[in-house]
Structure 1
Amino acid sequence: MNLKYELRSGWKVINEMNNIEAVMNYSKEYMDFLDKGKTERKCVKEIERLAIKKGFKSLCNIEKIVPGDKIYAINRDKNIALFVIGKQDIEKGLKIIGSHVDSPRLDLKPNPLYEGDNMAYFKTHYYGGIRKYQWVTIPLAMYGTIILRDGSKVEISVGDEEGDPVFCVTDLLPHLGAKQNEKTLAKAIEGEDLNLLIGSIPDEDEEKDKVKMNILRLLNSKYNLVEEDFLSAEIEVVPAGKARHLGFDSSMILSYGHDDRVCSFAAVKAILETENPEYTVSVLCADKEETGSNGNTGMHSRFYENTVAELINLQTTYSDLKIRRAFSNSKVLSADVTAGYDPNYSTVYEKNNSCHIGYGVCISKYTGAKGKSGTSDANAEFVGEIRNIFNEANVVWQSGELGKVDEGGGGTIAYILANYDAQVLDCGVGVLSMHAPYEIISKADIFEMYRGYKAFFNK
């Protein structure tokens, strides 16, 4: 018996289990998912494709369910829920892994296009908790959905394909930045300064706003768009470029969107490989987590509850009591990332209670801020149960908090499902440079997370 708690190196265990090739193959799949899923809509579309390939069928086409059935439901192209029906009635509880597929970004304002000194710009409104200074002078891509004046839908995707132009937010040159240098990081770049440079060729046939009008003509030619159509559009600006291997040893991945697509992909892959479980297993990929989980595609919406209610109705006679029992009997892993210990900024971490890169999937008994504000705080019994599941499957895991007690904090969707009386524990991987345009994760950690999720579903 080992009386002392010690971290295990993920790479050491992976080598001992001869899993290096599996880790690299998994990472390649995940990087492909990242490249195809630059927005929550793109993620949902790709997850649906993967699910259909594995035999999942849309809930819209189901009249009755039996054990082993594989079902998915989509909410407004921004949420997707996957289910494999278990041998026990849903009323007995589900095993749920809940994640989110939205990531911090820049959104175009409803009326974004303007011209300034013979250059055309889009006004943006940042989404989620970004550090604004990180978003200037980097190449940016644009994705979106526009509902045109005739009601038709147009998809925009510019900046990631070979030959595509990219976009950029400019910054001051150091020679003229003396006053800017005196500002705090939070104030050096203001929200209203995040204006996207999109063009500079004038339309000489116009008397004013010559560059703006040239841009409008280009957009109209390609998308049949007029300026008023921006009012019914969702256009997101994200870092351009593909996910990249990081380090001479390619042990890490540098990419936009690890938070929280890294957990979403692991959960999806785990459920796609789950057959005939004892209890119904489910993956939920939600939207709007980065802005508080509100709205009809956020975790606070009734989408997931309504979907589970429909499944109960397809399995047996529905009642309000059965849906309440189903959630009360459920066990949930809130699949979200946490702060990876960064020795460059060690003063904000408490090392003994931090998530260390390369040491496996991380469980967090609680999140929140300062005095555990906003957390669900998992009970000891459920933490012990997950710990035993991981140990039995030889999953490399660790425990961590989000930095020192009074340094800040953050939350996940855990408390929302816990409010349904489900047992919930946060479980994800550590990330370096979280919420930056390009984040960093360890390939060892994400592979162990996938193995842990799969063990949870199959126990």
Structure 2
Amino acid sequence: MKMERKSVWQHRSREEIESFARKYMEFIGKAKTERLAVKEIREILEREGFVSLEDFAGDPVDMAVYAVNRGKAIAAFRVVDDLRKGLNLVVAHIDAPRLDLKPSPLVEDEQIALFKTHYYGGIKKYQWFSIPLEIHGVLFRGDGTEVEIHMGNKPEDPVFTIPDLLPHLDKEDAKVSEKFKGENLVLIAGTIPLSEEEKEAVKTNVLKILNEMYGISEEDFVSGEIEVVPAFPPREVGVDRSLIGAYGQDDRICAYTALRALLSASPKKSIGVIFFDKEEIGSDGNTGAKARFYLRVLRQILKMQGAKDSEFALDEVLEKSSVISADVCAAVDPPYKDVHDLHNAPRLGYGVALVKYTGARGKYSTNDAHAEFVARVRRVLNERDVIWQVATLGKVDQGGGGTIAKFFAERGTDVIDMGPALLGMHSPFEISSKADLLETYNAYRSLLEDL
């Protein structure tokens, strides 16, 4: 069979594409941090009848359950049989490149109060200057009470920004990567002094306002997680409205399509989705894919099903499981197409992309999907009339990147990367195709049902 590219737009109903896109845009506009993503996902699951695993008291071979890890990762399963027969899983990550406030963030410099930040994940720092920003997160006061912080996401809210140096004074001849320093990523927090006599009067006034709004003190920032993200909503892009521009589509576009696939699938065996934190910084920490959280959840289900040795039974489950590592890939960008192997690069609007391996230079630090497993995936997609294409991450010596696939491979599962292509990946305004969005959902649903 000859490899041919197919336009999703020519094979799917425009009405179906647009309907799916509208619901996705509602989700991606709300899920701007991993905590907010978990909140939205949990609400959707509960509306569809899923219950917390801790509260489940029914038949352990007929269950729709979820489990949350520290508010920043979530797993959901539809169990229809003995778990030891294996699972079909789609796994993704819900963290995204951003800025985080430092533990002691608030300073005053030249009568301007500023929030100091530390960037999270792989960003191009210059893209974060001179755009509107909003902040979201949690703080814990000295007495342990939790306070949610949300500023900039409502029309009546103030926003934040990081001012750039005007071109009239920016004459230094330096590379872009050298001109924009991480320590310059500081947000303007205020300019009104509390009084003329007081030292750092502007900073003091900002703290006073924050205390009035949230009941917090400066020290409370130490026990906080405050994230800075772009303050603009998802928008349709292009004269033909074929694209979606939004922050955080890497990788919440995969999380959303996987969730919708889980909810609509008619499984022949047990299925599930797992959405992780920390992928953008190596999957470390106890909410990332290296952590034991999802393994503990599976062991708990096995114990409920009567497994005598849940550790050995878990090995059985994983070795009989098939995993789709749901992650985005880089679409060909016409002005920069020289960085791609065009014969192995995905195009917008031409379906979900199969990524056999990621890694960098010599396939370092990657899962390289076995040929037998790729054949199974390809068979299901073709039999279910899903439009797909192949993808690699640039030319061989050009760059590279990683996903959570390798961590599941280390546990003994068969796994391959798969997801839609994006333009401007890791930027504050990533671009996806509405058509690829729908086809990614079609792919995940098909593979949950038939893999």
1:85 aligns with 2:79: yes
Code of the residue aligned with 1:62 in structure 2: it is F
| Residue in structure 2 matching 1:103, options 89, 96, 101 | 96
1:317 aligns with 2:307: yes
- Alignment match, 2:409: 418
Separation of aligned partners in 2, 1:188 and 1:443: 36
Q: CA deviation at 1:445?
A: 0.5
1:43 aligns with 2:37: yes
| Residue in structure 2 matching 1:289, options 279, 285, 288 | 279
- Aligned in 2, Cα 1:342/1:318: closer, same or farther, shift over 3 Å? farther
Q: CA deviation at 1:62?
A: 1.8
Q: CA deviation at 1:274?
A: 2.4
Separation of aligned partners in 1, 2:91 and 2:59: 22
Aligned residue for 1:77, secondary structure, equals coil
| Residue in structure 1 matching 2:10, options 12, 18, 25 | 12
Separation of aligned partners in 1, 2:251 and 2:136: 18
- Alignment match, 1:437: 428
Separation of aligned partners in 2, 1:148 and 1:192: 27
- Alignment match, 1:383: 374
Cα offsets for 1:294-352 (capped at 9, x unmatched): 00101110001110110111112241210001001100000000111111101101100
Q: CA deviation at 1:267?
A: 0.3
Separation of aligned partners in 1, 2:61 and 2:8: 35
Given that 2:134 and 2:160 are in contact with CA atoms closer than 8 Å, whether structure 1 keeps it comes out as yes
Code of the residue aligned with 1:427 in structure 2: it is M
Q: CA deviation at 1:64?
A: 5.0
| Residue in structure 2 matching 1:454, options 434, 445, 449 | 445
Cα offsets for 1:379-425 (capped at 9, x unmatched): 01110111111111111100110010100100100000000110000
Q: Which moved more, 1:107-116 or 1:65-74?
A: 65-74
Aligned residue for 2:137, secondary structure, equals strand
Separation of aligned partners in 1, 2:20 and 2:62: 25
- Alignment match, 1:27: 21
- Alignment match, 1:113: 106
Separation of aligned partners in 2, 1:434 and 1:104: 10
Separation of aligned partners in 2, 1:13 and 1:406: 36
Q: CA deviation at 1:184?
A: 1.2
Match runs of 1:112-151 below 5 Å: 112-151=105-144
Separation of aligned partners in 2, 1:207 and 1:31: 47
Q: CA deviation at 1:205?
A: 6.0
- Alignment match, 1:168: 161
1:396 aligns with 2:390: no
| Residue in structure 1 matching 2:294, options 304, 309, 320 | 304
| Residue in structure 1 matching 2:225, options 219, 234, 255 | 234
Code of the residue aligned with 1:209 in structure 2: it is E
Cα offsets for 1:220-276 (capped at 9, x unmatched): 00111110000000000000011000011110000100000000000001101124x
Q: CA deviation at 1:63?
A: 3.7
| Residue in structure 2 matching 1:255, options 228, 246, 268 | 246
- Aligned in 2, Cα 1:32/1:318: closer, same or farther, shift over 3 Å? farther
Given that 1:64 and 1:314 are in contact with CA atoms closer than 8 Å, whether structure 2 keeps it comes out as no
Given that 2:61 and 2:305 are in contact with CA atoms closer than 8 Å, whether structure 1 keeps it comes out as no
- Alignment match, 1:153: 146
Cα offsets for 1:169-195 (capped at 9, x unmatched): 01110000011xx21121111000101
In structure 1, the gaps of 5 or more residues are: none
Aligned residue for 1:146, secondary structure, equals strand
Q: CA deviation at 1:65?
A: 3.6
1:204 aligns with 2:204: no
Q: CA deviation at 1:68?
A: 3.5
| Residue in structure 2 matching 1:76, options 55, 70, 75 | 70
Given that 1:65 and 1:311 are in contact with CA atoms closer than 8 Å, whether structure 2 keeps it comes out as no
Separation of aligned partners in 1, 2:59 and 2:121: 39
Deviation beyond 3 Å, 4+ runs, structure 1: 63-68
Separation of aligned partners in 2, 1:437 and 1:260: 13
Separation of aligned partners in 1, 2:85 and 2:307: 14
- Alignment match, 1:327: 318
Given that 1:64 and 1:315 are in contact with CA atoms closer than 8 Å, whether structure 2 keeps it comes out as no
The CA RMSD measured in Å over matched residues stands at 1.0
Given that 1:130 and 1:436 are in contact with CA atoms closer than 8 Å, whether structure 2 keeps it comes out as yes
Given that 1:84 and 1:274 are in contact with CA atoms closer than 8 Å, whether structure 2 keeps it comes out as no
Q: CA deviation at 1:206?
A: 4.8
| TM-score normalised by structure 1 residue count | 0.96
Aligned residue for 1:168, secondary structure, equals coil
- Aligned in 2, Cα 1:206/1:417: closer, same or farther, shift over 3 Å? farther
- Aligned in 2, Cα 1:200/1:318: closer, same or farther, shift over 3 Å? farther
Aligned residue for 1:334, secondary structure, equals strand
| TM-score normalised by structure 2 residue count | 0.98
In structure 2, the gaps of 5 or more residues are: none
- Alignment match, 1:243: 234
Separation of aligned partners in 1, 2:217 and 2:326: 41
